Amino acid sequence: MPIDFEFTEEQQMFRDTIRDFGENEIAPLVEEAEKNEKFPKHIFPKLGEMGFLGISFPEEYGGVGLDKITECIFAEEMGRINAGIAMCVNAHTSLSCVPVYKFGTDAQKEKYLIPGVEGKVIGALGLTEPDAGSDARNIRCTAVKKDGRYILNGVKTWITNGTMAEFVIVAAYTDKTKKGTGISLFIVDADAPGFTEKNKIHKLGHRSADTAELVFENCEVPEENLLVGEGGFNGAMATLLGARITHAAKSVGLSQAAFEFALQYSKEREAFGKQISKFQAISFKLAEMAVKIESARLLVYKAAWHYGRDDKEALKTASMAKLYAADVVQWVATEAVQVLGGYGYGVEFPVERYYRDAKLASITEGTSEIQHVVIARELGI
């Protein structure tokens, strides 16, 4: 049976739709969002109306019931428009709505998932802490059951959507004697008593993304807001590997944006009497950019295909896609700056933003070092 590398007609139409939406509805907001370091929150209901927040969720929850490949098309096109805005949308769908869909009760899905798909509420995932990043089992946040509720204490940091989320999926130890397996997941409402501070974090790149430190001081969480109890944490985290794939797709989109700008600039800029694209030093850079981006794209969609089949290769290819796409976007963004020369270093053109945004690809959703660990383990090493 031949391998078909073409998107289906439905997927091609979807790509055209999201590209048109991105260029007309989101792109005009980027400069202000970056300058003010503020996510344009009003686009969430629009994204919900278009079905973009429910791509892979069943119709019964307001989704459109499509596949991971289509979700990656969306992530790639969003990354091409703006990495920070794409990051917030991915965090909402992949990191907060997916756990509710996978593990939530009917009541939890009614309260959080359905309005989340509609864009009426925004979610976040509270996992990382000041002293626990890659080693999630080392978190210190605790939740103690008392009088039919849980009392949550701890600090979470680098939380995407942190200050604007209406609910946060929070990981906390309910039994500190059980390393890792004693962790549970809770749905914490933004107005919960004891959810005291949401400190905005200012960043090198992804400035339009809402990122914050969250503080819980004797935060009261109703018993019915327990999402995953002890022993289910590993399973919950495993379902989030899909976020690595969409993040890799976002990196491909950002790479594409940097490449397209450098290519166009090289055709317009002249030096020594001819377009700089005609110089071998520049043309070879652009050719290699195109090869690397296409290679990363193929790996991303292969990972999405494995993920959709839920087969044994999904974990390995997801980490491969995340790792390689992170390397590619940083290299492409660096070379794009080089193609523009001094103009690439100034703020007049967007390549300096692409350069700043690219670095995060090797850090978030599991560092590149962690991806090496996962790949090596999957190879039996």
Task: Exactly one of 224, 365, 369, 378 is catalytic; name it.
Answer: 365
Running DSSP on this structure, what letter comes out for residue 132? B
HSE toward the beta carbon, residue 279, CA cutoff 13 A: 14
The answer to whether 365 is a known catalytic residue is: yes
Q: Where are the beta strands (DSSP E) in the chain?
A: 123-126, 142-146, 149-160, 167-173, 183-189, 195-200, 211-222, 226-228, 270-271, 274-275
Tell me the C-alpha distance between 17 and 188, whole Å.
34
Q: Three-class SS of residue 86?
A: helix
Neighbours of 16 (CB within 10 A): 11
Q: Three-class SS of residue 142?
A: strand
Maximal CA-CA distance, the chain: 80
H or E stretch covering 354: helix 351-358
Where residue 338 falls (left for φ over 0; alpha for ψ -120 to 50; beta otherwise) is: alpha
| Catalytic residue annotation | 365
